[in-house]
């Protein structure tokens, strides 16, 4: 009997121990679950100080990316979206209900709900798109308006009907001047020069020194590498700029060969031709540029003008002799500003046809087309805000379906969403207007400069006895 009692007691102790362990395990599991839920809730509703419900450029730029939106690329976020809501991302669709449940379980405070929804779903690209919109500047080029009253000798220069620009692209143009590569400086200057002289002359651009390299093995290739990259004809801005940007500095300096090429070209023209040379170096291809220049100018109608750009004394002496042999002028430019001023005030014709001066200003369709660029990033601001608002709609639908909030609470959130929608639309329109005004203001300013210049030239011509 005692033995039976002992066995029963042992069995009872085992059962009680098992129950205790089960209870302990259950308590542990419940505690762990509670910790996880608490952590999840904290991740949704915690750290809301950085979330600003105000709709302004500053608040949007400082808006943290939604924790569920970090995967969203800029390209995807700025795609055009109008009234049709895009499909909710499958991954977001999978995790959003759980996050919303944690949120609504932890708070029913309206302000906390709004901030927490933005913490989850706000676009990560407000700062980038707004800063790009703010950096917009119209790209219209400032016209070069030559003023003969600033010329060093005060003489008028008749505009040539044919103009050949010879541009040195030898390896020395890879050096820096004033913090920029000399080739880039020269290209910018030539673009501006051609824009103005092209109003009254046919233009050609010949480049030399852009073939091969400065190595001895490439000398023959480089010295024979003269190329007319813009054929003689009417100036067309887009085509001329494309021609100027089509080559880089590389090799030797066949100055004589380039002048000879210009001489061959001009022999086919009925009237005189003016050659404009921009160079930073002397002849290195064993040619005789002085003789070549003399040969070009022997008909009495052609001239060779040269700008020596940041050259040494020996080179300058050779270039002066070349210009003199070509019945032209030599000008020295020791830095980028001098190069610009020399081209602007010495080479450009002072008696160009003022009737066509207005074509240097941005005209109607150019301004209208530029409006599209001005509006690009303000419009993208609207697109990313629309996507964000549609995500909020999806969140409201989930909360309504799962009865996470009352109808009245949801109505208040939806009213906030509509107000935010209107404020973001107004903000994007304000940015569009600011950028359109920038475009119009610059176009008007350029037009006014040209009008004032034309009037000044008319008066000057009248003072000198020229008929307008």
Q: What is the pLDDT of residues 172-226, one digit of tens each?
A: 888 888 788 988 888 888 887 787 677 678 899 999 999 989 899 999 999 998 9
Pairing of β 176-177 and β 162-168: unpaired
- List phi, psi (to 5°) of 309: -95, 105
Count CB neighbours of 183 within 10 A: 25
Task: Report the alpha-carbon distance of residue 376 to residue 390 in Å, rounded.
Answer: 21
Please identify, among 337, 360, 383, the residue that sits at the C-terminal boundary of a domain. 360
Q: Is residue 146 part of a domain?
A: no
Hey, which residues does 276 pair with through a beta bridge?
A: 165, 305
Grade residue 427 by pLDDT with cuts at 50, 70 and 90.
Answer: very high
Grade residue 462 by pLDDT with cuts at 50, 70 and 90.
Answer: low
Based on the domain organization, do 397 and 284 belong to the same domain? Answer: no
Mean pLDDT of the chain: 83
On whether the CB atoms of residues 77 and 384 are closer than 8 A, the answer is yes
Based on the domain organization, do 418 and 290 belong to the same domain? Answer: no
Task: Report the alpha-carbon distance of residue 333 to residue 441 in Å, rounded.
Answer: 33
Q: Of 43, 40, 61, 44, whose CA–CA distance to 52 is shortest? A: 61
Q: Which of 159-168, 239-248, 385-394, 457-466 has the lowest mean pLDDT?
A: 457-466
Report, as an integer, the average pLDDT of 219-235.
92
Based on the domain organization, do 127 and 210 belong to the same domain? Answer: no
Considering 26-40, 134-148, 428-442, 454-468, the range whose residues carry the highest mean pLDDT is: 428-442
Task: Report the alpha-carbon distance of residue 370 to residue 375 in Å, rounded.
Answer: 9
Based on the domain organization, do 72 and 107 belong to the same domain? Answer: yes
Q: Which domain holds residue 157?
A: 152-360
On whether the CB atoms of residues 318 and 415 are closer than 8 A, the answer is no
Based on the domain organization, do 328 and 202 belong to the same domain? Answer: yes
Q: Is residue 64 part of a domain?
A: yes
Q: Is residue 120 part of a domain?
A: yes
Based on the domain organization, do 348 and 394 belong to the same domain? Answer: no
On whether the CB atoms of residues 210 and 248 are closer than 8 A, the answer is yes
Written as six digits, the tokens of 42 are 């904290």
Number of domains in the chain: 2
Please identify, among 332, 360, 388, the residue that sits at the C-terminal boundary of a domain. 360
Q: Is residue 211 part of a domain?
A: yes
Q: Is residue 398 part of a domain?
A: yes
Based on the domain organization, do 382 and 299 belong to the same domain? Answer: no
Based on the domain organization, do 276 and 325 belong to the same domain? Answer: yes
Say whether pLDDT at 100 is over 80: yes
Based on the domain organization, do 241 and 222 belong to the same domain? Answer: yes
**pLDDT tens-digit profile of 17-31?**
555 555 555 555 555
Report, as an integer, the average pLDDT of 435-459.
87
Q: How far apart are the first and last CA of the chain?
A: 140
Please identify, among 311, 333, 360, the residue that sits at the C-terminal boundary of a domain. 360
**pLDDT tens-digit profile of 250-295?**
899 999 999 999 999 988 887 788 898 988 888 999 999 999 999 9
Q: Which of 302-306, 318-322, 343-347, 416-420 has the lowest mean pLDDT?
A: 343-347
Report, as an integer, the average pLDDT of 143-170.
65
CATH number of 250's domain: 3.40.50.410
Q: Long-range CB contacts (< 8 A, 24+ apart) of 240-247?
A: 240/191, 240/194, 240/195, 240/198, 240/203, 240/205, 241/191, 243/205, 244/167, 244/187, 244/190, 244/191, 244/205, 245/187, 247/169, 247/207, 247/210
3-state per-residue secondary structure call for 186-224: HHHHHHHHHHHHCCCCEEEEEEECCCCCCCHHHHHHHHC
Q: Which of 182-186, 334-338, 376-380, 460-464 has the lowest mean pLDDT?
A: 460-464
Q: Is residue 41 part of a domain?
A: no
Written as six digits, the tokens of 330 are 């030599």
Burial of 88 (0-12, 13-18, 19+ CB in 10 A): middle
Q: Is residue 28 part of a domain?
A: no
Residues 6+ apart with CB under 8 A from 297: 303, 304, 325, 326, 327, 328
- The pLDDT of residue 68 is 95
Q: Which of 12-26, 69-83, 321-335, 442-456 has the lowest mean pLDDT?
A: 12-26
- The pLDDT of residue 7 is 55
Pairing of β 176-177 and β 180-181: antiparallel
pTM of the model: 0.55
Say whether pLDDT at 351 is over 60: no
Q: Is residue 147 part of a domain?
A: no
Based on the domain organization, do 91 and 165 belong to the same domain? Answer: no
Q: Of 275, 159, 157, 154, whose CA–CA distance to 206 is shortest? A: 275
Residues 6+ apart with CB under 8 A from 47: 119
Based on the domain organization, do 118 and 196 belong to the same domain? Answer: no
Based on the domain organization, do 125 and 273 belong to the same domain? Answer: no
């Amino acid at each position: 009997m005692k033995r039976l009692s002992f066995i029963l007691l042992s069995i009872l102790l085992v059962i009680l121990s098992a129950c205790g362990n089960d209870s302990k395990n259950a308590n542990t599991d419940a505690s762990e679950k509670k910790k996880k839920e608490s952590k999840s809730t904290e991740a949704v509703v915690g750290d809301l100080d950085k979330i600003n419900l105000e709709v302004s450029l500053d608040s949007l730029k400082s808006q943290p990316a939604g924790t569920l939106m970090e995967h969203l690329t800029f390209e995807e976020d700025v795609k055009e979206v109008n009234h049709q809501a895009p499909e909710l991302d499958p991954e977001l669709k999978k995790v959003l209900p759980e996050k919303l449940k944690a949120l609504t379980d932890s708070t029913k405070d309206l302000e906390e709900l709004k901030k927490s929804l933005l913490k989850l779903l706000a676009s990560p690209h407000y700062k980038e798109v707004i800063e790009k919109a703010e950096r917009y500047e119209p790209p219209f080029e400032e016209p070069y308006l030559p003023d003969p009253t600033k010329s060093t000798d005060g003489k008028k220069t008749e505009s040539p009907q044919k103009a050949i620009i010879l541009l040195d692209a030898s390896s020395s143009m890879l050096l820096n001047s004033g913090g920029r590569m000399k080739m880039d400086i020269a290209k910018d200057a030539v673009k501006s020069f051609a824009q103005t002289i092209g109003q009254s002359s046919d233009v050609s651009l010949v480049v030399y020194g852009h073939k091969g390299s400065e190595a001895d093995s490439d000398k023959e290739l480089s010295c024979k590498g003269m190329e007319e990259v813009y054929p003689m004809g009417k100036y067309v801005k887009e085509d001329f700029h494309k021609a100027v940007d089509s080559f880089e500095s590389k090799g030797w300096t066949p100055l004589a060969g380039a002048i000879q090429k210009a001489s061959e070209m001009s022999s086919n023209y009925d009237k005189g031709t003016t050659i404009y040379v921009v160079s930073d170096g002397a002849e290195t291809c064993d040619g005789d540029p002085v003789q070549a220049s003399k040969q070009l100018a022997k008909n009495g109608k052609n001239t060779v003008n040269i700008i020596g750009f940041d050259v040494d004394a020996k080179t300058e002496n050779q270039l002066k002799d070349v210009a003199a042999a070509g019945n032209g002028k030599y000008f020295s430019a020791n830095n980028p500003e001098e190069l610009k001023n020399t081209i602007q005030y010495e080479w450009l014709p002072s008696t160009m046809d003022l009737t066509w001066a207005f074509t240097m200003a941005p005209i109607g369709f150019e301004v209208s087309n530029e409006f599209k660029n001005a509006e690009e990033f303000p419009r993208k601001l609207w697109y990313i805000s629309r996507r964000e608002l549609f995500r909020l709609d999806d969140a409201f639908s989930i909360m309504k379906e799962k009865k996470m909030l009352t109808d009245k609470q949801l109505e208040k959130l939806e009213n906030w969403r509509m107000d935010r929608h209107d404020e973001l639309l107004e903000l994007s329109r304000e940015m569009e207007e600011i950028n359109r005004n920038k475009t119009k203001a610059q176009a008007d300013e350029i037009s006014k400069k040209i009008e004032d210049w034309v009037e000044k030239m008319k008066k000057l011509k009248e003072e000198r006895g020229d008929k307008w």
